[in-house]
Every structure is written in structure tokens, then in C-alpha cells.
Amino acid sequence: MFGALSTVTATYVVKSLSVLITVGVLCQATDEGNLFSYLQENEEEMLTECGVVDDPELLPRVFGGHVARPDQYPWMAYLSSGFLNSNGEEFDYFLRCGGSLISNRHVLTAAHCVRNRNDEFKLNRVIIRLGAYNLVEHNPWEKNYEIYPQDVIVHHQYDPESLFNDISVIRLPENTQFKENIRPICLPFNYVMDKYEDEGESVKAAGWGTTNPYSYGRRSDVLKVSEETLLSKRACSKRIGVNNFNIDTEICTTYSYHGGITCKGDSGGPLMTIKKYTPYSTKAFVIGVTSHEPAIELELSCGTGYPSVYTDVSAYLEWILEIMEE
């Protein structure tokens, strides 16, 4: 926890809101201050690298969506994971998900992307591709960024049945060198952004999920983005049901005027909001992790009017930062 940092010399320095880079000095947070107050006091320094948006005015639309441009969302990570059964034998199960680079050592994704619903199947491997865009036509430089994680940390209260607390952090084995196509997204600290729980706010999701209800599960080979409309938590609970929506730790969206919605294969990817940072620049913040689609659970196709559900990142900030501090 972050009660007393006066005697703690951390192993990272905050370079941006989401970039906790190695060899630093959080010992500057003295007395009874905590990490959050330190972050608040050093906001300007922290917001220098994360969430850089190339063209915030573009409104491409995952399900029925439009193709993103290369390098438009450089924090996107593509995850593929294989499982072994309880006997250590190969099991024909391969899961594909998205994720968000939130520092030079950490990727944020959904818990169900790295842990099978059935406990008898254990995670064998997760391959992470940073700078991913086209999953079929590999660029030579992309292969250099296919890496295995050092650790996979699933939230201790994750429930595979309800998908509550559907969040995990992947720790990479070494520091990532940021490039034009590989940069982190900002974490959603409330003091640097307006409240995002107001119904009607425009937000964006990104992923490689299913794009057509008649495509029989065919997923997109290239990264797509959707513009969606954020619902109030009360509206989410009413439309999805109190037993299927946690008002404290989840948020939800529905179609926007421009269309698009997340679907199968988009799990783990970011729900993003874009905020003004200076009069001349904006920053992207990850406010949600794509979790599940009630429509699919009801054996309906995506885009049938049911909201998409996301894990609310702001509810897990302290947990995320504790992992990044280790």
C-alpha cells in the first residue's frame, strides 16, 4: 500500500502518467504523503510521454468499424495465449485478445484473456506483440517485439463466472524502447481529467475482433477502432441487470451516432477517452478494459442493442500502481 513512502526508495521514476520507468526516486514523496499525492504534484512531468494522439479528430468506427491507421494507437498490444490441460498435455484452445501498454514494462488486459474459465486448464504461455497493426502481413520490425511475459498478475478477486474484477497486468521481461509505433497510454487519474461517468460522452475502443455478425466469428486482420457512447452506471445496471453489472468496478457503452461496438476478439483492449492537455495538444487515457458482451452471453449477435461492458480502470489504480512498483 502507499501509506508511508518516506523510507521507500522506489525502483522507478515517474516519467509520464502511465510510464513508470526504471531507476528513479519516489523517495521525493516524503513524510506521510502517498503515491497519489506525489503523482498529483508532478503532473506536468508525468504527462510528457503517455497518450500522445496523432490525430484526435479522426473518428474511425471494431464491430462494423473502420480500419485504424498504422501508429495511430501505439499503445495497442496483441496477445495470444495457449493452454495445457491438468495432465500437461496440449489442449486445442487458443485465445486472442488486446491489451494496452501502460509503461515500459507493463501491459494492461482482461483477466479472462490470461486465465481459462475452467480451472483444470492452466496457462501455458502468452505471447505479446507490441506495435501490432496487421496480424497477417508482418512487417520485419514487428517480429522483434513478440515477447513472452515475465509475470502475469490476475486480480485476486477475479470471478470467471460473473467476470467481475476482470483485469490483469502483464509484466514484461525488460524495458521497452519507445518508438513511433510503441508508446504507452495514460492512466485515468481524476485530477488530470474531467469525470467520465456522464452519460453521452464519446469514447473509443480498439481491437482485432469480429467485424460482421454474419462472418461466423471471423476476426479482423488489422486493428480497428469504434466510437461508442458512454452510459451512466445507473443506466448500465438497469439495462444489463444488477446481477451482471458491478456498479463500483464496471462501466458500459452503447452505439454512437457514428456506429461501431466491441465484439468477440476485442477483449482486453482499451476503452479510451481523449482530453485536452494543452491548448494545442491532447492526451489519450485508458478508462476501461474490454470485458464482455451481454448480447453474446444471450446468444445474440453483437450490435443488437445491448451495452458493452468494461472493467473500470479508475477503480483499480492503486492495485495497478502497486504492481508497477514491485
- SS3 for 225-292, per residue? EEEEEECCHHHHHHHHCCCCCCCCCEEEEEECCCCCECCCCCCCCEEEEEEEEECCEEEEEEEEEEEE
pLDDT of 250 above 90: yes
Could you give phi then psi for residue 138, rounded to 5 degrees? -75, 130
pTM recorded for the entire structure: 0.78
The per-residue pLDDT for range 259-297, each reduced to its tens digit, is 455 565 578 999 998 887 777 778 899 999 999 876 545
- Indicate whether 11 pLDDT > 50: no
Of 162-171, 176-185, 198-207, 229-238, where does mean pLDDT reach its minimum? 198-207
Share of the chain above pLDDT 90, in %: 26
Question: Which of 272, 241, 319, 243 shows the shortest CA–CA distance to 58?
Answer: 272
37: DSSP letter: H
Model pLDDT, residue 37: 55
- Report pLDDT for 326: 83
How far is the C-alpha of 311 from the C-alpha of 249, rounded, in Å?
6
Q: For residue 27, give Cα distances in angstroms to 23, 176, 217.
A: 12, 24, 50
Q: In whole angstroms, what is the distance from residue 245 CA to residue 236 CA?
A: 7
pLDDT-derived band at 200 (thresholds 50, 70, 90) equals confident
Output the pLDDT for position 286. 95
Q: Which of 10-14, 39-43, 161-165, 233-237 has the lowest mean pLDDT?
A: 10-14
Give the per-residue pLDDT at 146. 79
CATH domain 74-183+319-325 topology: Thrombin, subunit H (2.40.10)
**What confidence tier does 91 reach under pLDDT thresholds 50, 70, 90?**
low
CATH 3.10.20.440 fits 190-314, yes or no: no
What is the distance between the alpha carbons of residues 101 and 192, in angstroms, rounded to a whole number?
19
Candidates 261, 313, 217; CA nearest to 17 is 313
Residue scoring higher pLDDT (268 or 54): 268
Integer Cα distance of 175 and 106 in angstroms: 9
Please report, for the chain, the start and end positions of each structural domain, with discontinuous segments joined by +. Answer: 74-183+319-325, 190-314
Which of 168-182, 193-207, 282-296 has the highest average model confidence (pLDDT)? 168-182
Residue pointed to by grid coordinates 458500459 = 252
- pLDDT at site 26: 34
State how far the Cα of 268 lies from the Cα of 311, in Å rounded to an integer.
9
What's the pLDDT tens digit per position in 136-150? 776 655 544 778 888
Alpha helices in the chain (DSSP H): 35-41, 43-46, 233-240, 294-297, 317-325
Determine the pLDDT at residue 33.
41
Rounded to the nearest 10°, the torsion over CA 180, 184, 188, 189 is: -100
Chain position carrying cell 451512466: 232
CA dihedral 158, 159, 160, 163 (to 10 degrees): -90
Q: Is 284 helix (H, G, I), strand (E, B) or coil?
A: strand
Three-state DSSP state, 258: coil
Question: Is 3 buried (19+), middle (13-18) or exposed (0-12) by CB count in 10 A?
Answer: exposed
CA distances from 169 to 12, 53, 57 (A): 17, 23, 30
Mean pLDDT, the chain, as a whole number? Answer: 71
The pLDDT of residue 139 = 61
